[in-house]
Amino acid sequence: MNIGIVGAGIAGRLLAWQMIKKGHEVTLFDKNPLDSEAACSFAAAGILSPLAELEMAEPTIFELGTRSMHLYPKLIEELDYPVFYRQIGSLVTAHGSDKVELNHFHSMLRHKLSDCDNYVQNISIADKEPELAHMGDGLWVTDEGQLDTISLLNALQQSLLKKGVQWKEQVEVQAIEPGKIKTATDTYRHDWVFDCRGMGAKKELPLRAVRGELLWLQAPDIKIEHLTRLVHPRYRIYIVPRPDNIYLLGATEIESEDYSPVSVRSSLELLSAAYSLHKSFGEARIIKQVVNCRPALPDNLPKVELKDGIGRINGLYRHGILLAPAVVEQMMIKFNQAMGAHNEAENAVNS
Ligand SMILES: Cc1cc2nc3c(=O)[nH]c(=O)nc-3n(C[C@H](O)[C@H](O)[C@H](O)COP(=O)(O)OP(=O)(O)OC[C@H]3O[C@@H](n4cnc5c(N)ncnc54)[C@H](O)[C@@H]3O)c2cc1C
């Protein structure tokens, strides 16, 4: 089949990868240049945390996220380029006066998942992160992990190009119709078309933008290995460790379609919370500031739809990296069913 996919964020790239592996011909359209990091996916901290996210999310997110955790190691192995991936569990902690928040967090997980105790352990934070011993107690969510999103997106891009995907960069798509992808000047014909435009699909879907701000810190004096969340009544943060003493500090969540630089207020909140977790963050260097908008639907759940000749993956909100392998798998199941039905209908006509 000749497949057209619009949008080269995590959803579009991963869908292209699964399609090309099945032997289909794939054309991937994106309005940005090939080496651009403007897609929301490039902003992501790469947290793979289905259980800890369950505190505020629906069980569907946990189920899809758990499926993705199962799929990720194989996916990373398939790609010809290195992707930083670590699965040693995540930590959740709080300052002494906020321990009530930590208890609330734990009871929410227990309430939403009956066998929660199989995956969440009460620990002394010092057992996992000696430099955070002053935090006292905390939770260790045993199966969680993180990956370097930029290396994943780059590895997907290189692997797709090597397999012969046609990458139409700097092509702004105006309309997606069954069998057709239209720009201002051209119409491209495909057997099947897929819309993975994130916020770019806002004319077709009731999407809203949720602004996220994130800081990259380099802190040679700090040694933290685990993805660590600090729960707090007002300023919740996470610290995501990367190689070379780099720590991603995030992230704000603001209901606004605003791509302007990180605000002073957000910087103050994020950095103060990080400093309260580890005093050596005071000497860290801010090496990058990241802003983007998460594409969210009214129910904050992902949409995976193959209807009236158009496939759509969208609404990945704050979990796009976590959910992508599982939602793309769902799309591939729908696609194979649709192709089966189509072939049966053709056979019936021919016989
Ligand atoms: C600060 C921040 C931190 C985050 N951290 C995490 C995290 O730790 N873990 C996690 O799982 N998720 C995280 N997320 C969420 C995640 O980034 C998103 O859910 C995900 O990137 C959405 O991916 P997507 O492929 O749907 O959209 P996008 O990445 O936005 O991709 C859409 C693509 O479509 C293209 N496009 C749009 N319109 C057109 C058009 N008309 N023609 C051609 N091309 C078009 C765009 O150029 C873009 O490349 C975070 C988000 C933010 C902002």
Mean pLDDT (the chain, rounded) = 95
The answer to whether residue 341 scores a pLDDT higher than 90 is no
CATH no. of 90-142+208-296: 3.30.9.10
Average pLDDT over residues 102-106: 94
Average pLDDT over residues 32-50: 97
Name, in order, each residue with C-beta under 8 angstroms of 320's C-beta and a sequence gap of 6 or more: 9, 10, 11, 40, 41, 44, 294
- Give the pLDDT confidence score for residue 233 in this predicted structure: 82
Report the number of secondary-structure helices (H) and strands (E) in the chain: 8, 21
Half-sphere exposure of 153 (CA within 13 A, CB side): 24
More confident residue, 162 or 232: 162
The answer to whether residue 344 scores a pLDDT higher than 80 is no
- Give the pLDDT confidence score for residue 281 in this predicted structure: 97
The ligand 1 atom at the shortest distance from the C-alpha of residue 213 is 1
CA angle centred on 197, ends 195 and 200, rounded to 5°: 125
The alpha carbon of 104 and the centre of ligand 1 are apart by a number of angstroms equal to 31
Parts of the chain belonging to CATH 3.50.50.60? 1-80+149-207+299-351
Q: What is the pLDDT of residues 4-14, one digit of tens each?
A: 999 999 999 99
Per-residue pLDDT band for 342 (boundaries 50, 70, 90) equals confident
Q: Are 250 and 241 in contact (CB under 8 A)?
A: no
The alpha carbon of 218 and the centre of ligand 1 are apart by a number of angstroms equal to 25
Per-residue pLDDT band for 75 (boundaries 50, 70, 90) equals very high
- Give the pLDDT confidence score for residue 196 in this predicted structure: 98
CATH class assigned to 1-80+149-207+299-351: alpha beta
- Give the pLDDT confidence score for residue 157 in this predicted structure: 98
Instruction: Return d(Cα 121, Cα 130) in angstroms, integer.
Output: 17
DSSP 307: E
Q: Are 198 and 316 in contact (CB under 8 A)?
A: yes
Per-residue pLDDT band for 208 (boundaries 50, 70, 90) equals very high
The answer to whether residue 306 scores a pLDDT higher than 90 is yes
Average pLDDT over residues 92-121: 93
Average pLDDT over residues 292-302: 97
Q: Are 281 and 75 in contact (CB under 8 A)?
A: no
How far is C-alpha 29 from the geometric centre of its chain's CA atoms? 20
Instruction: Return d(Cα 153, Cα 9) in angstroms, integer.
Output: 8
Ligand 1-lining residues (CB < 6 angstroms) = 6-12, 29-32, 39-41, 43-47, 172-173, 196-198, 200, 212, 214, 250-251, 290, 292, 294-295, 314, 316-322
- Give the pLDDT confidence score for residue 343 in this predicted structure: 75
Parts of the chain belonging to CATH 3.30.9.10? 90-142+208-296
- Give the pLDDT confidence score for residue 147 in this predicted structure: 96
The alpha carbon of 308 and the centre of ligand 1 are apart by a number of angstroms equal to 25
Burial class for 262, CB neighbours closer than 10 Å (0-12, 13-18, 19+): middle
- Give the pLDDT confidence score for residue 223 in this predicted structure: 97
- Of the chain, the percentage scoring pLDDT greater than 90 comes to 92
Answer yes or no: pTM beyond 0.85.
yes
The alpha carbon of 106 and the centre of ligand 1 are apart by a number of angstroms equal to 30
Average pLDDT over residues 19-34: 97
Average pLDDT over residues 175-194: 97
The alpha carbon of 224 and the centre of ligand 1 are apart by a number of angstroms equal to 28
